[in-house]
Structures are given as C-alpha cells and as structure tokens.
A and B are shown apart, each in its own frame.
Chain A
C-alpha cells in the first residue's frame, strides 16, 4: 500500500540506482499488492457480484479502492448511480498522481492512453520515488504490469474460492473492505487538517446513515472537505497547516482511524 511519506521524498537526489534494483523493488510492491485482488474477489462474491462482473471490474476499473467502494455500495443496496459516483470520486486522486507522473515520465502522446490505465497509488509511489526518468519509467511499467496481471488473476481466484468457502460472513470477509480503506487512509492522516477532515467525514456519515438512502451518506461526507477548510480559514493561527506535523490530537468523536 502506498506510503505517502515516500511520495514526498525529493527525487533527483543524485542517488544512482541500477535497473535491476528498480525492477526488484517494483516486483516486491507489485506482488504484495497484486495478490490482494484475492481479497477483492472474495469481497465481490460476498456482495452478490457475479464472476464476470468482478473480472470486468478488475480489468477495466483497475483501481482497488474504487472497486471495493462500488461492490460495497451495491451490496448495501445503493442505487447504481450513487454507487458509481462514490467509486468515481475515490478515483479522482489518480488524476493528481497523473499530473506528477506526466512531469517525471515524459511519456510520448501515443503511450498515454495505455499508461493511464496503470496510474494508481502503488505505481505512482514507485515511479515518483525514483531518482531519474529511466528508473521512474522502469518502476512504473514493472509495478503496473505486475499488479495488473496478479490483481486480475487473483480476483478470479477469489471469486471462485469464495463459493468454496460457503458463507463469506462466517469467515469475516466483509471486514476486508473497511480494512483496505483504513490501510489507505492511515498514511494520509499526517496533519491536523487531514485528521479534522476524517473526523468530520465520520460524523457526517454516521449522521446521514439512518436518514439517507444507501450510498448517499458517503457522498455527503465529502462536504467534510469544504466545511473543514472554511473552519480552518476562520482560525488564522492554523491556516496552511496542511503540510506541518502537529502533535496535538484533533477534536472529534469517532476516532477509529487514528493511527
């Protein structure tokens, strides 16, 4: 999973890396993340998604958090538009990885439609951590191809394996989705601003859950971003703290994301 602190290490530090070293690192990330398609396949099967639907999701969507969000929302009885909207918004972060990658990789125009499919958390992490363009391109390609191959293979195996397991709830498979989200979220909670947004989103979704149709509370929780930023800007002392680490704990009720 992406360790976002690594994304912040300046590239171009002059550190020489061998191609073999880059490939080794990329394979390590690729295998570890690629096999988690197994968890997605089992979760998808438990959500009432067919083998074909799960396989198409992994082939064409290929961004794990959005896939988990979509099957989770459908399983909860959300309508297809709300479910797709949640998955889409979660995928928008890939556009910002793309912005950074475009500068680092300098891909020819004709390569972009293919490369775009591989723009996800982990490929971006590996590519942006490299000191030069050649290593970044190797890292991006090897991580992307490895994850794509394994993620799609293990998705199918997960769906098939799920039917052999019987009742997925007895095996605790329904806890895999939230654990994936928590693992993605934890490294993002660097500063007070991020923590305040997370706490506000939790409160909004808890408040909305009994009142709104399935899938909608998650979209409402996006309001945590403007609400938190507006509150921050009214308190001048804390303006612009997004990149500063602060030890003080945030205010807020449900804090199970705290790490």
Chain B
C-alpha cells in the first residue's frame, strides 16, 4: 500500500512541475538566480543517487561489484558511447565481477 502512495505522490508531483513550466507567464521564473538553482539541483541529486545506489547497502556503505560496473559506465561515457551501451557495460561488468565471486 505504501508503495502505491509513493507512486501516486510521485505521479502528481512530477506532472505538476511539468505543467507548471509550460503554463507560467513568460519571464516569471526567468531570474538568473532561479535558473542557476534549477540547473544545479539535478547535479546534486544525480551525484548523490549515483553514489548511494553504487555504495549503499541499507544504511551502510559497501564496496562491491556495483563499483566495478559504475567504473565501466564511466569509461563508456568518456568514450562517448550511446546511452544503452553505458547501461549495458555497467550491468555486464557487475554481473561478471559477481561471477568471479566479488
């Protein structure tokens, strides 16, 4: 049940911000300060999410096969690989590392 609540809140919230952007009068949120915050917010969230989903295990930190997978994704990004190749590299290397018992 609580999963459905989370899904409902996320659906309402994400739709609201999408519609808000299309609907507000031109220039209303165009102040440089707001733009800067808006540009930096996803940077902070994505960096945090990448970290916590790579090294997090419950409420502790671990170094396991996912770290190898993320390194592979990073390498693929440096090589300007397409999105699916980046994700595929992470998945394959993680699986490979686990197969070797890491």
Q: Which residues of A contact B (CB under 8 A)?
A: 1, 32-33, 35-36, 39, 49, 53, 56-57, 60-63, 65-66, 68-70, 72, 74, 76-77, 79-81, 83-84, 86-99, 101-103, 107, 112-113, 115-117, 119, 169-186, 188-189, 193-194, 197-202, 204-206, 209-214, 217-218, 221-225, 228-229, 242, 254, 256-259
Contacts and interface: CB of A to CB of B under 8 A. Distances in A.
Nearest to A99: B21
A89 B77 CA distance: 25
Given A72-B53, A90-B45, A170-B98, A84 B6 contact: yes
B6 A74 contact: yes
B38 A92 contact: yes
Contact of A201 (B5, B11, B47): B47
A87 B66 CA distance: 22
A178 to B, nearest CB: 4
Contacts of A212: 59
A36 B38 contact: no
Nearest to B83: A1
B51 A89 contact: no
B61 to A, nearest CB: 5
A88 B70 contact: no
A256 B11 CA distance: 31
A84 B59 contact: no
A182 B77 contact: yes
- Main secondary structure, interface of B, reads helix
Given A98-B20, A209-B56, A183 B87 contact: yes
B82 to A, nearest CB: 6
Nearest to B56: A209
19 contacts: A39-B84, A83-B6, A88-B9, A98-B21, A116-B23, A170-B99, A172-B94, A173-B91, A175-B54, A175-B90, A176-B87, A199-B47, A201-B45, A202-B51, A206-B51, A209-B60, A256-B54, A256-B70, A259-B77
Contact of A112 (B23, B29, B60, B78): B23
Contact of B83 (A33, A56, A72, A218): A33
Nearest to A216: B59
Interface string B4-47: 11110111011101111111101001100001111111111111
Contact of B47 (A53, A62, A112, A185): A185
B102 to A, nearest CB: 11
Contact of A172 (B3, B19, B44, B69): B69
B49 A72 contact: yes
B80 to A, nearest CB: 10
A33 B92 CA distance: 19
Q: Which 9 A-B pairs have the closest CB atoms?
A: A98-B21, A172-B94, A172-B95, A221-B48, A179-B90, A175-B69, A80-B6, A95-B21, A91-B14
